[in-house]
Structure 1
């Protein structure tokens, strides 16, 4: 097993920092300290005098609605299944199983956190899509971070080209950010819900990457 170098230390610091920020944010949310900020952002994204109409051109709402579906359970499940299938067929069975367990574990953690905090959905502005569960942390934001970042970080390990690795991680980050922002625009989550989801999901993905880096062989190692 390899000893951790500067990259591993940086990942440990990132995971620790993410967990610390999430815990502090959760405390502020539970105490109601973030409510004024959250409400101001939600109102700023609606037309003055008509909180049912979001700012921006009419087509933007349709685009954002499509983007938010990328963080839904159905899409994330399909993405995970396709990725695991690819890894298994590419003779990377251990990595595929680790990806599956990492994503499932993150989804379970998201559910437990929602139940533990039990924050109701925002009622400041009308919702532009139907929602029925609890609010903090944002499930779409956290599950997108858990799924896309975990897949991105672990898939980057099986790529030999540095540019390809960076591209995979960049796409994962972009998808995670877009899905989270879409939830705020649609009025179904407070900004702190989304930020909390990002923190928790990114922390989980980083921890999974650290475990994989230590215990799963890289392509050149398994080939040798």
Structure 2
């Protein structure tokens, strides 16, 4: 797979050099990043267009049915649990996780690269979520809110941030050379955390299920995009002449 990527990048570099009559090995990297950003912007616009088509009675019935089912389980213990989980997907939760990640990188991994990459993924997801909320302009559900919210509804910022940040952590965990059972168990636990954060937003009455689904999709797009860009950067740093 990596050899195939190298061949593709080398072909792109040759083509770009011929087109622009340039020998700068950084040119393909710069253009690749620009093209990737254009693709993301185009993807966001497509996401918004598709979201507009979801404003149907069918979706409203789906949202209501799923919400009613989830909130039917409300009880003091579950409410405490989901408030805790939703806090993990908020600013304070990310700061705590990042501090732990920094300590882990300092003492064990001996590299700050993955910390910086994780921050980049989270910041991109957060900024794009703010833009999407303003474009879509969907109000929060009219049911009782168990936590205070001040922003718009679609897509869920908690779901999008959780998928982007913790999803990227799953990718990093998959690269660790540790016991396989421990590695996969850790990946499953993080995946369950992502799912729990999404469910918590419905349970607490502050998001429609479609908000959470949209947040997960958008967050996953950022994970894939960032992994692609980071890998391309790594390839060009190792061998600028690929």
TM bracket, shorter-chain basis: 0.7 to 0.9
1:170-193 Cα shifts (integer Å, max 9, x gaps): 222111000101111111100000
- Secondary structure at the residue paired with 1:192? helix
Tell me whether 1:3 sits opposite 2:35 in the alignment: no
Which runs of structure 2 are paired with 1:193-212 in the superposition (5 Å)? 193-212=211-230
Which runs of structure 2 are paired with 1:94-113 in the superposition (5 Å)? 94-113=113-132
Residue in structure 2 matched with residue 121 of structure 1 by the alignment:
140
Shift of residue 36, structure 1, vs aligned partner: 2.3
Q: Distance in 1 between matches of 2:173 and 2:233?
A: 15
Which runs of structure 2 are paired with 1:88-99 in the superposition (5 Å)? 88-89=106-107, 90-99=109-118
Residue in structure 1 matched with residue 166 of structure 2 by the alignment:
148
TM-score of the aligned structures, taking structure 2 as reference length: 0.69
TM-score of the aligned structures, taking structure 1 as reference length: 0.74
Q: Distance in 2 between matches of 1:77 and 1:145?
A: 16
Q: Distance in 2 between matches of 1:122 and 1:214?
A: 41
The structure-2 alpha-carbon separation of the partners of 1:115 and 1:56, relative to structure 1 and needing over 3 Å to count, comes to closer
Residue in structure 2 matched with residue 76 of structure 1 by the alignment:
94
Q: Distance in 2 between matches of 1:213 and 1:155?
A: 16
Shift of residue 29, structure 1, vs aligned partner: 3.4
- 48, 53, 57: which one aligns with 1:28: 53
Kindly indicate whether the alpha-carbon contact (under 8 Å) linking 1:42 and 1:185 is maintained by their aligned counterparts in 2: yes
Kindly indicate whether the alpha-carbon contact (under 8 Å) linking 1:118 and 1:136 is maintained by their aligned counterparts in 2: yes
- Secondary structure at the residue paired with 2:149? coil
Structure 1: gaps spanning 5 or more residues = 6-15, 47-53, 218-224
Kindly indicate whether the alpha-carbon contact (under 8 Å) linking 2:122 and 2:165 is maintained by their aligned counterparts in 1: yes
Tell me whether 1:190 sits opposite 2:208 in the alignment: yes
1:136-164 Cα shifts (integer Å, max 9, x gaps): 00111111111111122124324344434
Q: Distance in 1 between matches of 2:186 and 2:175?
A: 10
- Secondary structure at the residue paired with 2:2? coil
Residue in structure 1 matched with residue 197 of structure 2 by the alignment:
179
Residue in structure 1 matched with residue 152 of structure 2 by the alignment:
134
Structure with max Cα Rg? 2
Tell me whether 1:40 sits opposite 2:65 in the alignment: yes
Number of paired residues?
197
Aligned alpha-carbon RMSD (Å): 2.9
The structure-2 alpha-carbon separation of the partners of 1:88 and 1:105, relative to structure 1 and needing over 3 Å to count, comes to farther
Tell me whether 1:169 sits opposite 2:187 in the alignment: yes
Q: Distance in 1 between matches of 2:195 and 2:155?
A: 15
Structure 2: gaps spanning 5 or more residues = 6-39, 236-242
